Each structure stands twice: as C-alpha cells, then as structure tokens.
Structure 1
Amino acid sequence: MPAEPSPSSASDSPAGSLFPGVQLHVVTGKGGTGKSTVAAALALALASRGRTVLLCEVEGRQGIAQLFDVAPLPYEERLLVRPQAGAGEVYALAIDPESALLEYLDMYYRLGRAGKALDRFGVIEFATTIAPGVRDVLLTGKVYEAANRNRRNKGARTYDAIVLDAPPTGRITQFLNVNNELAGLAKVGPIKAQADTVTTLLRSDRTAIHLVTVLEEMPVQETGDGIAELREADLPVGGVVVNLVRPQDLDAEDRADLVEGGTDRAALASSLEKAGVTASEPLLDGLLEEGLHHAERRRLEDGQRALVERLGVPVLELPRLPGGVDMGGLYELAEHLCQDGLA
C-alpha cells in the first residue's frame, strides 16, 4: 500500500515538544500497563494542538471502541472525536490482517471479488497465520499508506499525526522489524518492496516508539529490554510513559518514621481528635499499618523510578485516576501529555 512520501505537518510542533517533526507515534508496553489508554490520550493531546489525527490499533481487541464507548470499529477510518474550538479531529481505524491483505490484493493484482472468494475459503487466514512476517508487513503497510498520503491521492484524507496502539513490548521489535521477518520468505517482489518502504518510515525521524510502564519490577525490566532491542534493530526510541502513578501522600520524613517504627502515636491520636474522630487503639493500629504499606510501596516505586530514569530517554508520568478512565479522564491524561511535551 505504499504511496509517495509527503512532508509532514508534524514539523509544526509547538515549542517545547520533545519530539518535533514526528508524525508516527508508536505506543507499546507490557500488558496491564495501560498502553491503549496512553495511545488514546496521546491522540487527543495531538488533536488539541489543531492536528488531524488517526488512532490505529492492530491487535483485534477493539480497545479503542471500548475506551471511547462507541460501536466496534470496522476496517474503515471513522471520525471518533469532533473538534472543539481550536482543536483538530481524531479518526480511528482497526486494522486486521485479512482486510489489509484483501486491500493489498485488489490494489496490486486487481483481484476484487476473487480476493473475497479467497477469504471465504480461508486462504487469507492460512497465509497470514503461516507467515507472520507477511501479516506484520500488511498491518504496518496500512499505517505507512495513511502516513504518506498527499493531496494527489484523490479523495484521501491526510493526517498530521498518526498514533499506533501497537503490540506489547515483548513483540514490538519483531512487529516493526519487518525486513528481518521477511528475510526467509520474500527476497524480491511487491511484498518485499512494501517491507522496504515501510522500514524506511519506521527507521526515520518521522517515527518515535514510546514505551508505557508502571513502577513495578517486571514492567520496568521489560521496558529496559525493549529499548535495548529497538536500538539494536535501529528503530527510533521515543519516550517512556510511567502510567498509573499513585499520589504521594506522605513526605520522606513521615515515611522513614513509619518504616522504622518511630511514628508518634500520641500526635496521631491528637490529630484525629481535633478532626472529630475518636482515636481508638484499633484505629491507630490500622492507620499505622496502612501507612507502613504505603511507605514500603513508595520505597519500591522510587527504586524502579531510578531505573527508568537511567534508560537514557525522556520520562513522563501520568497519574492513577481515582475514578477510572472515562472520556473526562482521557482528556485529563491528554492535558498532562501536552504539558510534558509528548504532544
């Protein structure tokens, strides 16, 4: 699905942007870190800058539809968020390999109805299952096509920015390193040519791959490993988004007192009494136990935060929203991303 490259208006990034000139933002992360939420918030943040944004997903989970509380997305670009004053639009697209292959066959071989007949016989599912490298070329190829449209693509909508909700960190390098994945399958021909053109975009300064983590040992370790693999594959690492950060309710001195058992019970009881709460011994024990758990967790999180900060990439933090993530929450997270320079 390659098209002629066109200059990206992402070069009009606002002052203070961490990634000026980036048009394609790839978002990955270990399962459970909230990468789809971060991808959706990033799309809203980019649109708030007046851009027309395409938010894509490739895993077949319909995560975008669930986040925005809309009907499941077809293989078709749909308007997701109408612009507010001074803002752009967000379109969404769920890319599946079977539909992408049908489009590919129609574009290059003019199969039309014959391609749909192949789909009915299960040939397309068979082809994309036995050759996952081909599957990934088709998925990333559709993203490439959307990123490289220009006004000569008659009737095609052009996008200032594209946000790709990509596969998890453990598979992201394989997914994006399409040339290597095809090495043993196709050395010449249109599939190989498409892989070459896609790779050109993915390794260019028009692309940034952002990794989402939380302050826990396994996700942080996987983030570090993912960055090392991406760099080894010569793919452009963007930033690390630390998601679901808890509020810091106690200062360092209070946390140290809790861990060391030096908290003044009398002072705590006095504070409760002033607030109109009866300071019974079971209540004081419960509060001190909760405080100790908070202090110990904060100590562990600070250790993981230090590891993240040593990864050598920009680090941003997003708060855990007490009410969960609804549309209001997505806009709140988008505002944080704007303030921190990701959009």
Structure 2
Amino acid sequence: MALSTQLHVVTGKGGTGKTTVAAALAMSLAGKGKKVLLCEVEGRQGIAQLFDVPPLPYEERKIAVGRGGGEVFALAIDPEAALLEYLSMYYRLGRAGKALDRFGIIDFATTIAPGVRDVLLTGKVYEAARRRDDNGFTYDAVIMDAPPTGRITRFLNVNSEVAGLAKVGPIRRQADSIMQMMRSPETHVHLVTVLEEMPVQETIDGIAELQSARLPVGQVILNLVRPSLLAVGTREALEAGSLGPAKVAKSLAKASLDGAAASALIAGGSAHLERQRLQAGQREILEDCGRPLVELPLLSDGIDLGALFDLAERLGGPE
C-alpha cells in the first residue's frame, strides 16, 4: 500500500531551467487527467511568473488545466508561515505563535537552525502528499521545485540535519516521517542539466550523493538542447573544409543575397558545428550515469503557457 501520493522532486544547477521543467512535468501529468500540486520552496515566485499569475500566497491555488482535464494547483511554501502552522498543529499555540512571529523569534529559529527550516519546508510537502479526502489522496502527484543540485541531498536528508538539534519530540518524529516518504518507491528525484561541462559534472556528483543517502534518483532531463541547424551535406562540407567563401557567395548570389556575408556564414556554421560536438560529448558522459535521459529542446521564442504545453508533451511524464 502506498504511503503517500507520488512525489517528484526537481533539482538542477542554477540556470538549467529546473523551474520550467517542474512546471512542464506538472502540465504533463495534468494532461493525463491527474490532479497535481506544484510547490516551490525558495521564495522566488518562479511558478507565478511562468504561469503569468499574481504572486502565490501560502495557500494552494489552481493555476492551470491540462489538455487531459487534469488540474495544476500551486503553492509557495514560506518557512515562517510553515512554522506558525506547525506550532498551531502540534503545540496548539494559535495566537501565541503569531505573537512569537511579531517578536522575530520565528525568523531567529529558522536562521540559527537551517535544519529546522528544511524540516518545515519539506514537512509541508509531506503533509500535502499524504493528505486524503473521500476519494483517496487529495493529489495524484506533488511536484517540488527544489533547491539546486549542490545542496539537494542536504535539503532532503532532513534526519541528518536535525540529528544534533532534536533527538526526540515532534520535530524528530516529523523528520523521521519525512525521510520515510523521501525514500519510498513513490518518490523520484529528477535532475535537470544542460549539455555543458560544469552542469553535467554537478549532475553526476548529485546522483552519487543522492544514492549515497539512499534517496531515489529518477530521470535526468537534458534541457535547452540546441537542435542541429545544418543539412547533412552542409555539415559534411564544413567538416571536410571544402565549403569556401567563393562557393557560398555564389549560392548567395543565386538567391539575390549579398555574397559579402559568405565568410561570416561559414564562421557561424563552424561555431554551430563545434557546439553540436560539445553537446554530443556531454550527452555521451551522461549516458553512463545509469539513469533514464529525457531531452527537451531550446525554444527560441521563450517560455509561456503554450511553450509549457509543448514541453509537457515532449516530457511525457512518469506514470
């Protein structure tokens, strides 16, 4: 029997587009008729910007409907609000908790004890993933737009973070319950990367750290992949060095274009070819990481709701 609904944690080095991928995954699952909660924990309001909605409060709001009729709800998790909710739930402080907030004690607590902050953030995700209604779990899937790869293992491995702070009591029990969910078969940690040396190496290191902490690694998403823009004949001619300015200028003249651009076009084509070689080399490295690879293209027109639908179809989405 499942301990919770499916939890998909999406991480990646800064600049790789992990928030976009998390949103596309949510739309993909909604396209299959699923009810999805998309959470962010870094306070950047990236989800609101992607879906072009007002900044998200600390409450679950519907922000989109998938092509298959499923719904996407969103939640921006604030650690201070989560702590007030936690104090009300476990200690029934109510107004007293809000008084603590006015004195700045909540900010003090989450600053001096980062492990407690992470328990609060992941604890809210835990509550949403385990929440039930008359039809079973409230959500078919919960997707977390998580911190970057460099600190994802520490963020998810809340047991080790609170070990020195709470040996017993509600916080420790909460951490134990969270870890049970994080290591369950219903959880998948997906890593987003671009095909460049530093992000790829950070992805490989992240996989090793997650596996060492017994956290379940899902897919590796290769984002912003640049498509080949050269025809086979043009590519082969560039590689062989047989495509000179005179030949290109002649072709340009036939099309009533300025032949003076021939050298610049050859240089641009050569740079594009080199970029494709670099992508292919990094892709080969990732093929040995032992995890499924999924490719998403670079969309030249930027990201809007239509682009999210396009990426969602390409992503497919885990069942």
TM bucket by the smaller chain?
A: over 0.9
Partner of 2:25: 42
Runs in 1 of length 4+ with deviation above 6 angstroms?
Answer: none
Residue of structure 2 in register with 1:109 after alignment: 91
Which aligned pairs between 1:304-319 and structure 2 lie closer than 5 A? 304-319=282-297
Written as runs of structure 1 = structure 2, the 5 A alignment for 1:170-185 is 170-185=150-165
The residue that corresponds to 1:16 in the other structure is none
1:160 aligned onto 2:140 = yes
2:283 aligned with 1:301, yes or no? no
Tell me which residue corresponds to 1:32: 15
Matched, 1:75 2:58: yes
Letter in 2 for 1:323: D
In 1, Cα distance between the equivalents of 2:215 and 2:57?
30
Counterparts in 2 of 1:336 and 1:251: CA distance versus 1, 3 Å: same
Unaligned runs of 5+ in 2: none
Q: Identify the match of residue 133 of structure 1 among 115, 121, 128.
A: 115
Cα distance in 1 for residues equivalent to 2:232 and 2:203: 27
| Aligned equivalent of 1:326 | 304
Give yes or no for contact 2:30–2:65 (8 Å, CA) kept in 1: no
- Cα deviation for residue 7 of structure 1 reads 5.8
Unaligned stretches of 5+ residues in structure 1: 9-22
Return the letter of the residue paired with 2:200.
V
Equivalent residue pairs, number: 319
Is the contact made by 1:77 and 1:92 (CA closer than 8 Å) also made in structure 2? yes
C-alpha distance 170-74 of structure 1, shift in aligned 2 (>3 A) = same
Deviation at 1:261, TM superposition (A): 2.8
Instruction: Assess, with a 3 A threshold, how the Cα gap between structure 1 residues 222 and 241 changes in structure 2: closer, same or farther.
Output: same
Q: Find 1:244's aligned residue among 210, 221, 224.
A: 224
Asked whether the equivalents of residues 256 and 295 of structure 1 are also in contact (C-alpha less than 8 Å), the reply is no
Tell me how far apart the structure 1 counterparts of residues 130 and 217 of structure 2 sit (CA, whole Å).
21
- Alpha-carbon shift at residue 272 of structure 1 (Å): 2.2
Residue number among 189, 205, 222 corresponding to 1:209 in the alignment: 189
Q: 1:95 is aligned with what amino acid?
A: I
Question: Residue deviations 1:45-74, cap 9 Å, x none?
Answer: 000000000000000111111111111111
Preserved CA contact (<8 Å) 1:6 1:149: no
Query: Hey, what's the Cα distance between the residues in 2 that align with 1:142 and 1:103?
Result: 9
Whether the 8 Å CA contact 2:193–2:199 is kept in 1: the answer is: yes
Question: Conserved in 1, the CA contact under 8 Å of 2:11 and 2:190?
Answer: yes
CA distance change for structure 1 residues 203 and 101 in 2, over 3 Å: closer, same or farther?
same
- Indicate conservation of the 8 Å contact 2:4/2:129, yes or no: no
Q: 2:126 aligns to what?
A: 144
Write the distance in 2 (CA, Å) between the matches of 1:34 and 1:83.
Answer: 21
Instruction: List per-residue Cα deviations over 1:299-334 (Å, max 9, x = no partner).
Output: 111111111111110001111111100111111111
Contact 2:4 2:181 (C-alpha < 8 Å) held by counterparts? no
**1:5–1:149 contact (8 Å) kept in structure 2:** no
Q: How large is the Cα RMSD of the aligned pairs?
A: 2.0
TM-score by length of 2: 0.95
**8 A contact 2:4–2:137 mirrored in 1:** no
Cα displacement string for residues 180-211 of structure 1 (whole angstroms, at most 9, x for unaligned residues): 11111111111000000000010011000000
User: Which of 275, 280, 284 is equivalent to 2:262?
Assistant: 284
CA shift digits 1:213-265 (9 cap, x unpaired): 00111100100000000000000000111111111112566445435533254
- In the alignment, does 2:208 pair up with 1:228? yes
Which residue is equivalent to 2:100? 118
In structure 2, C-alpha distance between the alignment counterparts of 1:7 and 1:175, rounded to whole Å: 20
In 1: Cα distance, 2:232 partner to 2:81 partner? 55
